[in-house]
Structure 1
Amino acid sequence: MFRDREEAGRLLIELLKKYKIDKEKTVILAIPRGGVPVAYEVSKKLGIPFSLVITKKLAPLRDPEAAFGAIAPDGSQVIDEVYMKYMGVSSSELEIVRENALKEIKNRIIKYLNGKEPNLEGKDVIIIDDGIATGYTAIAAAMYVKNKGANNVYLATPVCPTDSIPRVKKYFDDVFFYEKSDSPFFAVGAVYEDFHQVSDQDMFFIIEEAKKNGLFYI
């Protein structure tokens, strides 16, 4: 059990310290919202600037929590077509879901990043979330980051299920995780004592703190 996301971030730091990271050419990208407190802890301790990579899950209109994939700002997407068909999602519904997701992503880029996506050309990128389940959002983020010209792209997360590791490794140059779970009923929140929803207010506070400390990458 992790006490909270901040503790999870500190434990990730110990893992990442074992690897030679060129701080001058590396950027941390947090997946909002849960990945932001984790990423900021890593950013502070390692002195690597961080920003956000905003992705959105793709889910049936009638069941927003049942994700069958994810999409990134440039339209990069990963879809489990078997699961999508099992849930009865048609191609026409998929297009509606995609358009809705892209609109939401655009709104969040305006809200959190003042409409400006970070420049990743030639950068090594560490993508951080508070945990992964299916890995869809992390994979969509990796596709997007590589399309933006990043060199090496890594995933760092406190916890992930064992069966998702091979899936995400196909898209990342390396994957770092503190714990893995073999539970068939795995849920990220189950490994945190405090897994409260990160609010917009929390997000803005962290971003402003990072800016004051010269750690927010623009």
Structure 2
Amino acid sequence: MKFSNRTEAGKILAKELEKHPVLLTNSLILAIPRGGVPVSYSVAEELKIPFYLVITKKLSHPNNQEVAIGAIAPDGTYELNKKFEFQGFSKDTINQIRDKALEKVQRRVKKYTQGSQLNIKGKHIIIIDDGIATGFTALVAGKYVKKNGAKTANLAIPVSPLSSINRVEKIFDKVICPQKIDSYSFSVGSFYADFHQNSDEELFEYMEKAEKEGLLYKNFS
């Protein structure tokens, strides 16, 4: 199945979430920017659940910035691909990669949320992205919300390879994914007719629409 766009993917995801009513009470959707924002807004609109953002940053391979070897959250929580640790890179190199990414993720927090710290204690958290490839960004987001007092941490994505589902299931209480693909050759974008790169302007537009509709979460610590 190919989604026409992220909005349609969100509507399909909302139908899947309706099968898990326990997650729909005292719950909060957290979107992974930027691709997860239109999906999350669509789910929030369908289910009338508030949403906000969870900011993460991938850790890039030192020899190829396009290759993700892990991810990091704003508080320094990180996940590293175990395969990378056996490629001969020193701890100093790994620490440099992590520290550089941490600076970037903290700048993103200031840019997108003005540095606000969400109060998520006791909430059923539903983390949403437009899909996962390696799953490290989702893993870090899950660890982050658990450290900050979430009652449960759940992941909802429209599409993912089975290998990544297996990876993230160790962190999340529930993983909801209507399309689980058994393939080693995987690209999230290949499952969308429209998979344009979302801009910051679009992100803020979705948040403004959510605020007008009473769907933007505003409980800060």
Interval containing the TM-score (normalised by the shorter chain)? over 0.9
Q: Specify the alignment match of 1:195 in structure 2.
A: 195
Once residues 182 and 25 of structure 2 are traced to their aligned partners in structure 1, the CA distance between those partners, rounded to angstroms, is: 37
Q: Secondary structure at the match of 2:193?
A: coil
Q: Residues 25 and 124 of structure 2 are in contact (CA less than 8 Å); yes or no, is this contact kept in structure 1?
A: no
Once residues 17 and 30 of structure 1 are traced to their aligned partners in structure 2, the CA distance between those partners, rounded to angstroms, is: 18
How far has the Cα of 1:61 moved from its partner? 3.2
Q: Residues 30 and 129 of structure 1 are in contact (CA less than 8 Å); yes or no, is this contact kept in structure 2?
A: yes
Q: Specify the alignment match of 1:125 in structure 2.
A: 125
Moved more, 71-80 or 7-16: 71-80
Q: Residues 56 and 105 of structure 1 are in contact (CA less than 8 Å); yes or no, is this contact kept in structure 2?
A: yes
Q: Specify the alignment match of 2:150 in structure 1.
A: 150
Q: Residues 109 and 117 of structure 1 are in contact (CA less than 8 Å); yes or no, is this contact kept in structure 2?
A: no
Q: Residues 13 and 158 of structure 2 are in contact (CA less than 8 Å); yes or no, is this contact kept in structure 1?
A: yes
Q: Specify the alignment match of 1:37 in structure 2.
A: 38
Q: Specify the alignment match of 1:85 in structure 2.
A: 86
Q: Specify the alignment match of 2:171 in structure 1.
A: 171
Moved more, 12-21 or 36-45: 12-21
Q: Specify the alignment match of 1:54 in structure 2.
A: 55
How far has the Cα of 1:91 moved from its partner? 1.5
How far has the Cα of 1:24 moved from its partner? 4.9
Once residues 133 and 31 of structure 1 are traced to their aligned partners in structure 2, the CA distance between those partners, rounded to angstroms, is: 14
Once residues 45 and 120 of structure 1 are traced to their aligned partners in structure 2, the CA distance between those partners, rounded to angstroms, is: 21
Once residues 28 and 193 of structure 1 are traced to their aligned partners in structure 2, the CA distance between those partners, rounded to angstroms, is: 25
Q: Specify the alignment match of 1:210 in structure 2.
A: 210
Deviation string, structure 1 residues 126-173 (Cα, Å, up to 9, x no partner): 000000111100000000000000011110000010112221111000
Once residues 55 and 22 of structure 1 are traced to their aligned partners in structure 2, the CA distance between those partners, rounded to angstroms, is: 23
Once residues 205 and 55 of structure 2 are traced to their aligned partners in structure 1, the CA distance between those partners, rounded to angstroms, is: 18
Would you identify which runs of 4 or more consecutive aligned residues in structure 1 move more than 4 Å?
none
How far has the Cα of 1:89 moved from its partner? 3.3
Q: Specify the alignment match of 2:27 in structure 1.
A: 26
Q: Residues 161 and 181 of structure 2 are in contact (CA less than 8 Å); yes or no, is this contact kept in structure 1?
A: yes
Q: Secondary structure at the match of 1:164?
A: helix
Q: Secondary structure at the match of 1:64?
A: strand
Once residues 208 and 134 of structure 2 are traced to their aligned partners in structure 1, the CA distance between those partners, rounded to angstroms, is: 31
Q: Residues 68 and 84 of structure 1 are in contact (CA less than 8 Å); yes or no, is this contact kept in structure 2?
A: no
- Which residue identity lines up with residue 51 of structure 1 in the other structure? Y
Q: Specify the alignment match of 2:134 in structure 1.
A: 134
Distance change >3 Å, CA 22–CA 93, structure 1 → 2: closer
Deviation string, structure 1 residues 178-209 (Cα, Å, up to 9, x no partner): 10111221010111111100100100100111
- Which residue identity lines up with residue 28 of structure 1 in the other structure? I
Once residues 175 and 46 of structure 1 are traced to their aligned partners in structure 2, the CA distance between those partners, rounded to angstroms, is: 18
Q: Secondary structure at the match of 2:66?
A: coil
Q: Secondary structure at the match of 2:104?
A: helix
How far has the Cα of 1:22 moved from its partner? 5.7
- Which residue identity lines up with residue 143 of structure 1 in the other structure? K
How far has the Cα of 1:47 moved from its partner? 0.6
Q: CA RMSD in A?
A: 1.3
Once residues 160 and 25 of structure 2 are traced to their aligned partners in structure 1, the CA distance between those partners, rounded to angstroms, is: 29
- In structure 2, stretches of 5+ residues that fail to align are none
- Which residue identity lines up with residue 133 of structure 2 in the other structure? A
